[in-house]
Protein backbone atom coordinates (compact mmCIF):
# COMPACT_ATOMS: atom_id res chain seq x y z
CA UNK A 1 0.00 0.00 0.00
CA UNK A 2 1.46 3.38 -1.01
CA UNK A 3 1.39 6.19 1.52
CA UNK A 4 0.57 9.77 0.62
CA UNK A 5 3.34 12.27 1.32
CA UNK A 6 3.06 13.47 4.88
CA UNK A 7 3.67 16.88 6.37
CA UNK A 8 7.17 18.33 6.45
CA UNK A 9 8.92 18.65 9.80
CA UNK A 10 10.08 22.06 11.05
CA UNK A 11 11.51 23.46 14.27
CA UNK A 12 11.26 26.88 15.93
CA UNK A 13 13.58 28.36 18.55
CA UNK A 14 11.65 30.17 21.28
CA UNK A 15 14.18 32.07 23.35
CA UNK A 16 12.80 34.30 26.11
CA UNK A 17 15.26 35.99 28.47
CA UNK A 18 15.25 39.10 30.64
CA UNK A 19 11.66 39.89 29.64
CA UNK A 20 12.55 39.81 25.93
CA UNK A 21 11.99 37.38 23.07
CA UNK A 22 14.33 36.75 20.13
CA UNK A 23 12.73 37.16 16.69
CA UNK A 24 13.90 37.34 13.08
CA UNK A 25 12.51 39.34 10.16
CA UNK A 26 11.91 36.90 7.32
CA UNK A 27 13.87 37.56 4.16
CA UNK A 28 11.91 35.19 1.93
CA UNK A 29 8.31 34.22 1.21
CA UNK A 30 6.03 33.27 2.74
CA UNK A 31 5.58 36.21 5.08
CA UNK A 32 8.64 38.02 3.71
CA UNK A 33 9.37 41.04 5.92
CA UNK A 34 7.32 39.70 8.84
CA UNK A 35 8.71 38.78 12.25
CA UNK A 36 8.92 35.14 13.33
CA UNK A 37 10.84 32.78 15.55
CA UNK A 38 14.16 31.55 14.18
CA UNK A 39 13.52 28.16 12.65
CA UNK A 40 13.16 26.07 9.56
CA UNK A 41 13.02 22.63 8.04
CA UNK A 42 14.76 19.63 9.56
CA UNK A 43 17.30 18.21 7.11
CA UNK A 44 17.63 14.51 6.23
CA UNK A 45 19.79 12.71 8.78
CA UNK A 46 19.48 15.52 11.33
CA UNK A 47 17.88 15.31 14.76
CA UNK A 48 15.24 17.91 15.62
CA UNK A 49 17.43 19.11 18.52
CA UNK A 50 20.40 19.65 16.19
CA UNK A 51 18.12 21.36 13.64
CA UNK A 52 16.76 23.95 16.09
CA UNK A 53 20.26 24.88 17.29
CA UNK A 54 21.52 25.05 13.68
CA UNK A 55 18.63 27.23 12.50
CA UNK A 56 19.02 29.57 15.48
CA UNK A 57 22.73 30.00 14.78
CA UNK A 58 22.28 30.44 11.01
CA UNK A 59 19.56 33.08 11.42
CA UNK A 60 20.85 35.02 14.46
CA UNK A 61 24.54 34.20 14.94
CA UNK A 62 23.72 33.13 18.53
CA UNK A 63 24.34 29.73 20.07
CA UNK A 64 21.87 27.98 22.37
CA UNK A 65 20.62 24.50 23.15
CA UNK A 66 17.04 23.22 23.43
CA UNK A 67 15.87 23.21 27.06
CA UNK A 68 12.49 21.58 26.50
CA UNK A 69 9.52 21.51 24.17
CA UNK A 70 7.00 24.37 24.12
CA UNK A 71 4.65 22.30 21.99
CA UNK A 72 3.94 20.53 18.73
CA UNK A 73 1.98 22.63 16.25
CA UNK A 74 0.26 20.99 13.28
CA UNK A 75 -3.02 22.75 12.49
CA UNK A 76 -3.87 22.36 8.79
CA UNK A 77 -3.27 25.58 6.88
CA UNK A 78 -0.72 26.98 9.37
CA UNK A 79 1.91 27.22 6.60
CA UNK A 80 0.94 28.35 3.07
CA UNK A 81 3.72 26.14 1.60
CA UNK A 82 1.80 23.02 2.60
CA UNK A 83 1.28 20.71 5.58
CA UNK A 84 3.93 21.13 8.27
CA UNK A 85 4.44 19.94 11.80
CA UNK A 86 6.55 22.22 13.98
CA UNK A 87 8.25 21.32 17.22
CA UNK A 88 8.84 24.56 19.12
CA UNK A 89 11.70 24.43 21.62
CA UNK A 90 12.58 26.60 24.60
CA UNK A 91 16.22 27.61 24.22
CA UNK A 92 18.96 27.98 26.81
CA UNK A 93 22.13 29.97 26.18
CA UNK A 94 24.06 33.14 26.80
CA UNK A 95 22.19 36.21 25.61
CA UNK A 96 24.03 38.43 23.16
CA UNK A 97 23.39 40.81 20.30
CA UNK A 98 21.91 38.90 17.34
CA UNK A 99 22.63 39.53 13.67
CA UNK A 100 20.42 38.47 10.79
CA UNK A 101 21.82 35.74 8.57
CA UNK A 102 20.85 33.02 6.10
CA UNK A 103 17.19 33.71 5.20
CA UNK A 104 16.66 36.14 8.10
CA UNK A 105 16.92 39.76 7.00
CA UNK A 106 17.26 40.98 10.58
CA UNK A 107 17.33 39.54 14.11
CA UNK A 108 16.55 41.31 17.34
CA UNK A 109 15.31 41.03 20.91
CA UNK A 110 11.83 42.47 21.60
CA UNK A 111 10.34 43.34 24.97
CA UNK A 112 7.54 40.89 25.66
CA UNK A 113 5.21 43.85 26.12
CA UNK A 114 6.04 45.14 22.62
CA UNK A 115 6.09 42.12 20.29
CA UNK A 116 5.21 42.95 16.66
CA UNK A 117 2.63 40.94 14.70
CA UNK A 118 4.07 37.49 14.00
CA UNK A 119 4.08 35.27 10.88
CA UNK A 120 2.51 31.82 10.62
CA UNK A 121 0.96 30.77 13.94
CA UNK A 122 3.86 32.15 15.96
CA UNK A 123 1.58 34.30 18.15
CA UNK A 124 -0.01 31.04 19.31
CA UNK A 125 3.43 29.52 19.91
CA UNK A 126 4.51 32.59 21.90
CA UNK A 127 1.35 32.40 23.98
CA UNK A 128 2.08 28.76 24.78
CA UNK A 129 5.72 29.56 25.55
CA UNK A 130 4.83 32.33 27.94
CA UNK A 131 3.01 29.73 29.98
CA UNK A 132 6.05 27.46 30.24
CA UNK A 133 9.11 29.73 30.06
CA UNK A 134 10.46 31.84 32.89
CA UNK A 135 12.82 34.72 32.01
CA UNK A 136 16.12 34.40 33.81
CA UNK A 137 19.40 36.31 33.97
CA UNK A 138 20.46 35.83 30.37
CA UNK A 139 19.05 32.33 30.02
CA UNK A 140 15.76 30.48 29.98
CA UNK A 141 14.81 27.38 31.87
CA UNK A 142 11.65 25.27 31.96
CA UNK A 143 9.31 25.98 34.86
CA UNK A 144 6.37 23.71 34.09
CA UNK A 145 5.81 20.69 31.83
CA UNK A 146 5.41 21.46 28.11
CA UNK A 147 1.94 21.38 26.61
CA UNK A 148 1.04 19.89 23.25
CA UNK A 149 -0.62 22.25 20.80
CA UNK A 150 -2.61 21.43 17.67
CA UNK A 151 -3.17 18.01 16.14
55 noted as active-site residue: no
Instruction: Single out the catalytic residue among 43, 55, 58, 106.
Output: 106
Among 125, 133, 129, 130, smallest CA distance to 84 is for 125
Among 128, 131, 103, 87, smallest CA distance to 34 is for 103
134 to 21, 22, 75, 139: CA distances (angstroms): 11, 14, 26, 9
Tell whether the torsion through CA atoms of 147, 39, 95 and 92 is positive or negative.
positive
Question: How far apart (Å, rounded) are the C-alpha atoms in residues 3 and 26?
Answer: 33
Point out the residues that are catalytic.
106
Amino acid sequence: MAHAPGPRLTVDAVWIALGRVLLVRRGRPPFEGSWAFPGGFVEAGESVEAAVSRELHEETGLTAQPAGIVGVFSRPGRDPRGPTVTIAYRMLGTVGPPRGGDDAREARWFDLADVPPLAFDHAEILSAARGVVSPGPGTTAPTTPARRQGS
